[in-house]
Amino acid sequence: LQVRGPGLGVVGVSKGAEVALAMAAFLPQVAATVWINGTAFLHGNPLVYKELRIPPIPYYTERVLFTELGAMDNSAIFADPRDPAYCASAIPVEKIRGKVLFVVGEADRSFNSKLFAELALARMPPESGRILSYPGAGHLIEPPGSPLCSNSSIRGTPRPVAWGGEPQPHARAQEDSWQEILQFLELQLGSVAAMKL
């Protein structure tokens, strides 16, 4: 198996989408980024890269809400990224040389992912990104056939976390976004059929 080059594709979900966007901003070899329900600002932890340090927006854990099932709804723990006090925490998406596909679940109960995608796209070079937005889809948009995971336990949290989503629209989002992601990666990175095995 050989890795084609020189461009690389990066796919990230949630905090991983934040990391993927930062990789696209700082690593010129990243030609295609798939960002699924993430943020466009550093949260919780700073980004340190070479001499650069981007400060994070703190989590406001006292704002956590609980669902009727007792799961943690973290949507309120994020400060409004449009507040001028947080401009230094923005990932410098204007430096991205590749293309970005933003995949948004509008029923995400973890982040206001649509807002983050729109804020990032507004600062990017023209034609360098686009948003796929799915009403009724939750946070964890995974490949088709994956069950809706509307609540789950994650390390470091005292209770399960609410991810949101309704079964049918979430399933449709997974099916549609998967095809869009494959087409996007093929367009930006070249056809899989062109690979040497």
Q: What is the pLDDT along the chain (197 residues), one digit of tens a residue?
A: 445 667 899 999 999 999 999 999 999 999 999 999 999 999 988 999 888 899 999 988 889 889 888 888 888 888 899 999 999 999 999 999 999 999 999 999 888 999 999 999 999 988 999 999 999 999 999 999 898 888 888 887 888 888 999 999 999 999 999 999 999 999 999 865 444 43
Q: Known catalytic residue: 14?
A: yes
CB 43 within 8 A of CB 61: no
Nearest to 113 by CA among 160, 165, 68: 165
Q: Known catalytic residue: 146?
A: no
Structural domain contains residue 127? yes
Provide the 3-class DSSP secondary structure of residue 23: helix
Which of 73, 89, 108, 113 is catalytic? The answer is 108
What is the structure's pLDDT at 1? 40
Interval 98-148: pLDDT, tens: 999 999 999 998 889 999 999 999 999 889 999 999 999 999 999 998 988
Report in angstroms the alpha-carbon separations of 58 from 27, 160, 173: 26, 21, 31
What is the structure's pLDDT at 177? 97
Structural domain contains residue 120? yes
Structural domain contains residue 197? no
175 contact partners, CB below 8 Å, separation of at least 6: 144
Q: Known catalytic residue: 108?
A: yes
Structural domain contains residue 1? no
Q: How many C-beta neighbours within 10 Å does residue 28 have? A: 14
Which of 14, 75, 113, 150 is catalytic? The answer is 14
What is the structure's pLDDT at 3? 57
Burial 78-114 (b: 16+ CB within 10 A, else e): bbebeeeebeebbbebeebebbbbbbbbbbbbbbbbb
* Structural domain that includes position 167: 8-189
- Total count of domains within the chain: 1
Structural domain contains residue 195? no
What is the structure's pLDDT at 192? 53
Structural domain contains residue 102? yes
CATH of the domain at 138: 3.40.50.1820
Structural domain contains residue 114? yes
pTM metric for this prediction: 0.90
Which of 89, 110, 113, 139 is catalytic? The answer is 139
Structural domain contains residue 51? yes
